[in-house]
């Protein structure tokens, strides 16, 4: 592993222990997430960006990351920062002499040079993200900042993520956030080394992704008659909502924007439940034949896709074909949650399917249904991920599980050798309240303050030999009580920063006190980024 073979790491441990016995330990830079290994020289010094600083791409594999950094830094600093292939000093993008883990990097800041070394472009990008955090928070602005000394403290860092999937889910269905809000979220995620945006695009209340073959999904599925009245989930507000959706061109642009920031977008196309917007356009794919309209009420809808209707499978595969063309993600999320079996239990076609396939009951029918799509995705070199309900009739082969009803489902799936992303609602549902008095955005189903989120450990309760199946951690932003990007940001930050640190920092290096202190500075970054972050108790 990284740690064993990394001589820089060995040097660091030594430096760190020397530094920790010194009487006046230098102040730690406020990094979020905390790096795996950090050392600060006893004699403080700094690197300052000047008119003479160049960005040196020592290894051309990192040209895109170097150009990206140069573009951002030029904009805020007004310095020329030319990207060059050779030369001493400057901000250097090098290939690591040792093989680092995926997304890992080392960073050395001295008075004369800033050296980022990595084994893959993502690592180079994260090295740059750390550089940005070492600079004054104004570096996060999107226009020229005058009168700032662009200085960063000397330090040595060896860093790599604990987990491969450091995610946030945004729900663009219950309320539509739109491209600008998504891009802003991507910016902040990247700044915190998060790499997966799970995009919830279809549900009972709306269909938000253009599918060329079936335009009715938009004409009939992207608009609903009402929304639930704010603070009153049972009464309609009387205003049509929509049509709101993303064209394929908009989606391509957002996917490319995310990719530039090393973020993968995992789309979610819900099935067999949470599909009423689809059924409003194609009622013949339900058990009863409809008619239907997109739901305006929140909650769980009994009408779902009919598992006995043969037409459902080619139809959903047509949709997935277009989805796979838009999203290069290896994982495609197919939902699978909250699919009541009321209709299937009395539907002749569904019951016939159960008999013909020798299935035990409707839960096993759901497993069979999901398996059709797991196989289809595998045949296309993709993998299915679904909510933990996909375990209920036996886990389809090849499927990854996103554990939301606590960690139980994830633990069970890991024990069966399936990949798991932990997103337990009692720690990771960022739409829940955060313990703020008179919070205008409060959703009182539960209270999950920052400090509670931080205590979550995604491998709790899992035997060590199975930790490798826990591929990630994710915060979820359901949008029943999120109206727009500003609300979404209020819910997300700072709690998503805790999720980022859970996913990145080794468990034994995580400390609330260090995180809370770093968050004081991180608030300044969030502010410069224009993020409507919520206050949080940062008492050590
Ligand atoms: C979920 O919250 N229904 C996945
Ligand atoms: Zn049916």
Residue 446 has pLDDT above 90, yes or no: no
CA 181 – CA 484 distance, rounded (Å) = 8
Are 388 and 333 spatial neighbours (Cβ–Cβ below 8 Å)? no
Encode pLDDT of 469-500 as tens digits.
999 999 999 999 999 999 999 999 999 999 99
- Give 190's pLDDT tier (boundaries 50, 70, 90): very high
pLDDT for the residue numbered 17: 37
Q: Which residues are within 8 A (CB) of 271 and not within 5 positions of it... i.e. 6 or more apart?
A: 305, 316, 334, 335, 336, 369, 370, 373
pLDDT for the residue numbered 15: 40
Question: What is the rounded average pLDDT of the residues 222-243?
Answer: 92
What is the 404 CA–ligand 1 centroid distance (Å)?
6
Domain ranges in the chain with CATH number 3.30.379.10 = 2-159
387 ligand 1 Cβ < 6 A: yes
Q: Which residues are catalytic?
A: 203, 274, 338
Percent of the chain having pLDDT more than 90? 90
- Placement of tokens 């993998």 in the chain: 383
pLDDT for the residue numbered 438: 75
- Placement of tokens 């000047």 in the chain: 50
Give the CATH class of 2-159: alpha beta
Question: What is the rounded average pLDDT of the residues 196-209?
Answer: 98
For the CA of 402, the nearest atom of ligand 1: 4
Rg of the chain, C-alpha, whole Å: 24
pLDDT for the residue numbered 21: 41
Is the bond preceding residue 146 a cis peptide, omega within 30 degrees?
Answer: no
* Weakest mean pLDDT among 105-114, 438-447, 475-484: 438-447
Superfamily of domain 165-384+470-528 in CATH is Glycosidases (3.20.20.80)
What is the 344 CA–ligand 2 centroid distance (Å)?
5
29 or 83, greater pLDDT: 83
* Weakest mean pLDDT among 1-10, 76-85, 409-418: 1-10
Question: What is the rounded average pLDDT of the residues 164-174?
Answer: 98
Residue 11 has pLDDT above 60, yes or no: no
404 ligand 1 Cβ < 6 A: yes
pTM of the model: 0.95
Encode pLDDT of 317-364 as tens digits.
999 999 999 999 999 999 999 999 999 999 999 999 999 999 999 999
Question: Which ligand has the minimum distance to the alpha carbon of residue 432?
Answer: 1
443 ligand 1 Cβ < 6 A: no
CA 335 – CA 388 distance, rounded (Å) = 9
Query: 3-class DSSP state for residue 16?
Result: helix
Domain ranges in the chain with CATH number 3.20.20.80 = 165-384+470-528
What angle (nearest 5°) sits at the alpha carbon of residue 370, between those of residues 369 and 372?
Answer: 70
Percent of the chain having pLDDT more than 70? 94
Is the bond preceding residue 446 a cis peptide, omega within 30 degrees?
Answer: no
Instruction: Supply the mean pLDDT for the chain.
Output: 94
Q: Is 293 buried (19+), middle (13-18) or exposed (0-12) by CB count in 10 A?
A: middle
pLDDT for the residue numbered 27: 67
pLDDT for the residue numbered 443: 66
- Give 441's pLDDT tier (boundaries 50, 70, 90): low
Are 323 and 217 spatial neighbours (Cβ–Cβ below 8 Å)? no
Residue 44 has pLDDT above 50, yes or no: yes
Are 397 and 371 spatial neighbours (Cβ–Cβ below 8 Å)? yes
Question: What is the rounded average pLDDT of the residues 445-474?
Answer: 96
CA 508 – CA 497 distance, rounded (Å) = 18
- Choose one of 169, 300, 301, 338 to mutate for the ligand 1 pocket test, by most ligand atoms within 8 angstroms of C-beta: 338
338 ligand 1 Cβ < 6 A: yes
Residue 8 has pLDDT above 50, yes or no: no
Question: What is the rounded average pLDDT of the residues 126-136?
Answer: 98
- Choose one of 198, 301, 404 to mutate for the ligand 1 pocket test, by most ligand atoms within 8 angstroms of C-beta: 404
Question: What is the rounded average pLDDT of the residues 517-521?
Answer: 96
What is the 308 CA–ligand 2 centroid distance (Å)?
5
pLDDT for the residue numbered 22: 42
pLDDT for the residue numbered 6: 37
Q: Which residue has the least CA distance to atom 2 on ligand 1?
A: 404
Question: What is the rounded average pLDDT of the residues 378-402?
Answer: 95
For the CA of 274, the nearest atom of ligand 1: 3
In DSSP notation, 44-90 reads: --EEE--TT--EEESSGGGHHHHHHHHHHHHHHH-----EESS-SSE
What is the 221 CA–ligand 2 centroid distance (Å)?
21
Question: Which ligand has the minimum distance to the alpha carbon of residue 279?
Answer: 2
DSSP letter (8 states) at residue 241: B
CA 400 – CA 422 distance, rounded (Å) = 11
Longest dimension (CA), the chain: 78
What is the 157 CA–ligand 1 centroid distance (Å)?
38
Question: Which ligand has the minimum distance to the alpha carbon of residue 352?
Answer: 2
For the CA of 429, the nearest atom of ligand 1: 2
Residue 53 has pLDDT above 80, yes or no: yes
pLDDT for the residue numbered 147: 96
């Amino acid at each position: 592993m990284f740690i064993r073979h990394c001589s820089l790491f060995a040097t660091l441990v030594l430096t760190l222990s020397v530094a920790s016995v010194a009487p006046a330990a230098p102040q730690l830079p406020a990094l979020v997430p905390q790096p795996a290994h950090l050392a600060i020289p006893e004699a403080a010094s700094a690197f300052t960006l000047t008119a003479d600083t160049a960005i040196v791409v020592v290894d051309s594999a990192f040209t895109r990351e170097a150009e990206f950094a140069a573009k951002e830094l030029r904009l805020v600093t007004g310095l020329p920062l030319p990207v060059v292939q050779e030369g001493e000093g400057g901000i250097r993008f090098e290939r690591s002499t040792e093989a680092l883990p995926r997304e890992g990097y080392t960073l050395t800041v001295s008075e004369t040079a800033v050296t980022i070394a990595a084994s893959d472009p993502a690592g180079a990008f994260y090295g740059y993200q750390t550089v940005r955090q070492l600079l004054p928070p104004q570096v996060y602005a999107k226009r020229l900042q005058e009168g700032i000394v662009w200085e960063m403290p000397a330090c040595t860092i060896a860093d790599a993520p604990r987990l491969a999937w450091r995610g946030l889910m945004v729900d663009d269905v219950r309320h539509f956030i739109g491209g600008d809000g998504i891009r802003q979220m991507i910016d902040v995620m990247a700044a915190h080394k998060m790499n997966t945006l799970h995009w919830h695009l279809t549900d009972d209340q709306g269909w938000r992704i253009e599918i060329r073959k079936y335009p009715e999904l938009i004409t009939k599925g992207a608009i609903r008659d009402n929304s639930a009245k704010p603070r009153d989930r049972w009464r309609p507000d009387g205003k049509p909502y929509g049509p709101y959706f993303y064209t394929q061109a908009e989606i391509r642009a957002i996917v490319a924007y995310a990719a530039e920031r090393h973020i993968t977008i995992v789309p979610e196309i819900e099935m067999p439940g949470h599909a009423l917007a689809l059924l409003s356009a194609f009622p013949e794919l339900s058990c009863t034949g409809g008619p239907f309209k997109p739901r305006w009420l929140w909650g769980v809808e009994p009408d779902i896709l009919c598992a006995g209707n043969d037409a459902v499978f080619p139809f959903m595969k047509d949709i997935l074909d277009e989805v796979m063309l838009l999203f290069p993600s290896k994982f495609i999320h197919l939902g699978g949650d909250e699919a009541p079996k009321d209709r299937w239990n009395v539907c002749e076609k569904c019951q016939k399917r159960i008999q013909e396939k020798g299935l035990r009951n409707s839960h096993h029918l759901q497993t069979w249904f999901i398996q059709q799509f797991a196989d289809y995705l595998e045949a296309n070199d993709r993998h299915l991920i679904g909510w933990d309900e996909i375990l209920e009739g036996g886990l389809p082969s090849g499927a990854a599980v996103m554990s939301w009803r606590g960690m139980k489902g994830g633990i069970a799936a890991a024990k069966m050798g399936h990949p798991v992303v932990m997103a337990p609602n009692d720690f990771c549902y960022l739409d829940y309240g955060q313990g703020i008095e008179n919070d205008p955005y409060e959703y009182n189903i539960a209270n999950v303050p920052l400090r509670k989120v931080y205590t979550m450990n995604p491998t709790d309760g899992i035997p060590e030999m199975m930790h490798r199946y826990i591929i990630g951690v994710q915060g979820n932003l359901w949008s029943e009580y999120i109206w727009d990007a500003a609300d979404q940001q209020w819910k997300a930050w700072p709690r998503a920063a805790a999720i980022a640190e859970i996913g990145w920092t080794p468990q034994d290096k995580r400390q609330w006190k260090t995180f809370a202190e770093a968050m004081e500075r991180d608030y300044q970054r969030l502010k410069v980024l224009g993020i409507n972050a919520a206050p949080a108790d940062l008492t050590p």
